[in-house]
Each structure stands twice: as structure tokens, then as C-alpha cells.
Amino acid sequence: MVVELKKDVFWVGTVDWNLKKFHGHEYSTHRGTTYNSYLIVDEKIALVDTVWGPFSHELIENIKKIIDVKKIDYVIANHAETDHSGGLPELMELIPDATVVVSEKGRESIPKHYHEDWNFKVVTTGDSISLGKNSLVFVKATMLHWPDSMFTYLTGKNILMPNDAFGQHYASSARFNDEVDPAELYQEAIKYYANILTPFSDLVIKKIDEFKKLNIPVDIIAPSHGIIWRKDPMQIVEKYYEWASGGNDGSIVIIYDTMWKGTEKMAFAISEGLEKEGVRFKLFNMAVCDRNDVLTEVFKAKGILVGSPALNNGLLPTIKPILEDLKGLRFKNKFGAAFGTYGWSGENVKLLEENLEKAKIKVLQEGIKFKWQPTKEELEKCVEFGIGFAKKLKKS
Ligand code: FEO
């Protein structure tokens, strides 16, 4: 299937309905994904990004529905990661003389992925390539999200192709944002931002400011994954600005795991305290919840309460991966506290607090821990702990 974005500009990408784990197994993609590739037919012909390697044949068949593949003059590789550059080897066998347009860092990394020395052309911000009636203009987007990342803009058609930025892992039979459920679309867009882009939030703000100053007309934002933004395309740019600035909805997320329900009883009692203070909360047991989904909820929230019983002078293994992610993702404007049960020496709460601090989450109040199973009185203290945390959070 091919879809025309504007006259002579086509989506020739592929839909991966069955992808449920991305980046190896690091990122859950419940709704699959797409690998978007765009064909521009002018006096010269350009293809912007390819697809993941296993979908190369489908990409080539899609291109053939529009032109003779051999007529492609330029292949723009906005990003070296293999879900977008993976189609290059099969495609370049058919067009060995075409020019592969890359950033300076892409020139270093793409040959290291494929061990091929294609006819590379290095571009940087402001460089352009005339295709005839219209031109491609390039903008370096270093660390959004790899060193090699860049954006491509098509003049005349006013289409921005920013690769991973503004994308979502969202397979659909529709291609445009006005054709899908906006709640599904935004859930995937924020999950993508929270799990992939948050470490680079300051750069996102800088890049958006830089782009706005250029005053370039944008009719369509066509990312490399998911839905294309054609109805009010700048809405996703404004959302990125809000997300990058550390906006939150004031709610609290409780994440925990439990061995014999003691820590879980504490979690429920703490949540009672939050309820008494009228603060919205969500509760996740990490033994059964999806890590990327929970990270997305933490990203939306203001407070994070984390609980684990002690195990072998440490924490339960199920709680550790999300703490590790939080350290790497460095969410802004988050406040936390810790809780849990213990049997012997009880280092768990201190360890949880250390992890929160390493993730730049400000610990708002001293953690709470009880030996073995909490008593009725101790659970009352957990309710008070929740009330205290909610009050402090409101003032933060
Ligand atoms: Fe950074 Fe979609 O790859």
C-alpha cells in the first residue's frame, strides 16, 4: 500500500502489526509499529529513510508501484538506527550509484552498521539539495535521539520529516492523525517520549525554539514511526515542549512488589491516605506490570512512592529494572518516598531512597518500614504516611 501525502510525495513504508517488543526486548510495543519511508518525485527523485531490514522487500515493492526504483537519485538516511537504515543494503544493490545523504555522524556510523562504502554526501544544518521544483533542507538534530540524527524538510510542500521525533509505535491501517483515535495516538506518543526522549529534554526545548525562529511553514510532520501529523501538525510540537519542560498532572504513582503481601498491605494503606487528601493515584505491582507502561505513568505524574521488601540485604529483583530506568531517563520535577517490610536488617527503604535520589527524584519525607507483617496500628501509620506525603506534594 502507498499513500500520497501531497502531490508527488508518497508514504512507501511498512506496517509491523506484530512487533510486541522493540530495541531487542527493551520496549513494549503493544500496538505494533510502522517504519515510515517517504518517496519524493520531482525532476530528481529522493527517498527519505528506509525501513527495518526484514521489511526491505516490501519497501522496494511499494516504490515500484510509483516509479522504477533505478530512478532514485538520493536516499536520505536521517538516522543510522537499523529500524530506519536497515533497508539500505537491499535497496542500494539496485541503485549502487545513488547518493546516500547523511549527517557527519551518520557518515561514521552507517558504514559501521553495513560495512559498505556507498556514495555518501555529508550535510549539516542549512544545507539543501534541489530536486527541481522543490528542495530538501537539512537540520542537524544531534542526540534527538542519536548523535547522527537529523531532520529533513521539503520546501514547496512544507513537509517536515523529523525521523524518530514526534513518532509513536502505533500500527494502523490509517496514516494520518485525523483518521485515528486521538486517545490511542497520544498514549503512544507520550509513551515514546517518556521512554526514549526524556534524557534529551533540554535539547528538545532548544531545537523547538531554534526551529520556531526559522519561521518555516509546516503543513505536515511526517515522522519515521506511526501516524503522520497533518491536522494541526504543530500540536505535537507544543506537546513535546510541555513534556520536555517537566509538566505533570499532579497525581501520584505507587510502584511496589511484595513477597507475602506485607509491602502490598502497606501500599494499599498509603493509597488510602492519598485518597483522604483527594490526590489521584495509580498503583502498580512490578511483578505483573509492564515496565514501559509504568514509566509512562510515572512521567505523567508528580509523585512516586516506591516499595519493596528486603531480600538478601537488598531489594526484590522485580523492582530493580524500573529504578535503573528512572536513573537513566532523569524525569524532571518528580517527588518521592519509600516504604516496605523487612525481617532482618532492613536496608530496603534506605536503598530505595538512594535510588530515588540517583534518579533526581526529590525525597519528600523519610521512608516507612515495618518488620514482618504490619499490624493494624502500623497500617494506620501508613495511612498517615500517605496523608503526609500528599500534603507535602501539594506544596512542592
Ligand atoms: Fe532511533 Fe526508530 O530509531
Last residue of one domain, picked from the residues 244, 270, 301: 244
Residues of the chain with pLDDT > 70, as a percent, come to 100
Q: Which residue, judged by its Cα, is nearest atom 1 of ligand 1?
A: 81
User: Is 169 considered catalytic here?
Assistant: no
| Last-in-domain residue among 244, 272, 294 | 244
What does the pLDDT look like over 52-100, one tens digit per residue? 999 999 999 999 999 999 999 999 999 999 999 999 999 999 999 999 9
Q: Mark whether 240 and 306 lie in a shared domain.
A: no
pLDDT tens-place string over residues 177-209: 999 999 999 999 999 999 999 999 999 999 999
Q: For 129-151, give one letter per residue: b (16+ CB within 10 A) or e.
A: bebeebebbbbbbbbbbbbbbbb
On the question of pLDDT at 322 being above 90, the answer is yes
- Determine the Cα–Cα distance for residues 141 and 152; give it in Å rounded to an integer: 10
Query: pLDDT per residue over 203-253, tens digit each?
Result: 999 999 988 888 899 999 999 999 999 999 999 999 999 999 999 999 999
User: 145 CA distance to ligand 1 centroid (A)?
Assistant: 8
How far does the centroid of ligand 1 lie from the alpha carbon of residue 389, in Å? Answer: 38
Distance CA 113, CA 103 (A): 15
Residue 81 Cβ contacting ligand 1 at under 6 Å: yes
Same domain flag for 72 and 199: yes
Same domain, 318 and 379: yes
**Model confidence, pTM:** 0.95
CATH code (residue 89): 3.60.15.10
298-313: pLDDT as tens digits: 999 999 999 999 998 8
What are the pLDDT digits (tens) for 4-18?
A: 999 999 999 999 999
Mark whether 71 and 12 lie in a shared domain.
yes
Last residue of a domain, which of 244, 271, 292?
244
Q: Could you tell me if 304 and 385 lie in one domain?
A: yes
- Provide the domain limits for residue 369: 252-395
Q: Which is the closest atom of ligand 1 to the Cα of 35?
A: 2
Are the C-beta atoms of residues 322 and 256 closer than 8 Å to each other?
A: no
In this structure, the answer to whether residues 208 and 332 fall within a common structural domain is: no
115 is a catalytic site residue: no
Say yes or no: 319 and 335 in one domain: yes
What was the pLDDT predicted at 211? 86
- In this model, does residue 382 exceed pLDDT 90? yes
Ligand 1 close to Cβ of residue 84 (< 6 A): yes
Asked if residue 344 and residue 268 are part of one domain, the reply reads yes
**So what's the pLDDT on residue 288?**
96
Q: Do 35 and 14 contact (CB within 8 A), yes or no?
A: yes
Tell me which of 74, 170, 192, 193 is the catalytic residue. Answer: 192
Domain count, the chain: 2
Q: Are 37 and 59 in contact (CB under 8 A)?
A: yes
What is the arithmetic mean of pLDDT over 374-394?
98
Q: Which residues of 158-170 are buried (b: 16+ CB within 10 A; e: fewer)?
A: ebbbbbbbbbbbb
CATH code of the domain in which 262 resides: 3.40.50.360
Same domain for 273 and 224: no
Q: Are 38 and 47 in contact (CB under 8 A)?
A: yes
Looking at residue 266, its amino acid is M
**Residue 319 exposure: Cα atoms within 13 Å on the Cβ side:** 28
CA of 336 to the centre of ligand 1 (A): 31
pLDDT of 25 reads: 73
Q: What is the dihedral of CA 260, 270, 343, 315, to 10 degrees?
A: 80
Tell me, yes or no, if 23 is annotated catalytic.
yes
* Mean pLDDT (the chain, rounded): 96
Active-site residue 27, yes or no? no
Q: Is 117 a catalytic residue?
A: no
Based on the residue annotation, tell me whether 181 is a catalytic residue of this protein. Answer: no
Same domain, 201 and 155: yes
Query: Does one domain contain both 328 and 202?
Result: no
Q: Are residues 371 and 290 in the same domain?
A: yes
Q: Burial, 344: exposed, middle or buried (Cβ in 10 Å; 0-12, 13-18, 19+)?
A: exposed
Counting residues of the chain whose pLDDT is more than 90, the rounded percentage is: 94
User: Residue 81 C-alpha to ligand 1 middle, in angstroms?
Assistant: 5
Ligand 1: atom nearest CA of 82 is: 3
**Which protein residue's CA is at the shortest distance from atom 2 of ligand 1?**
164
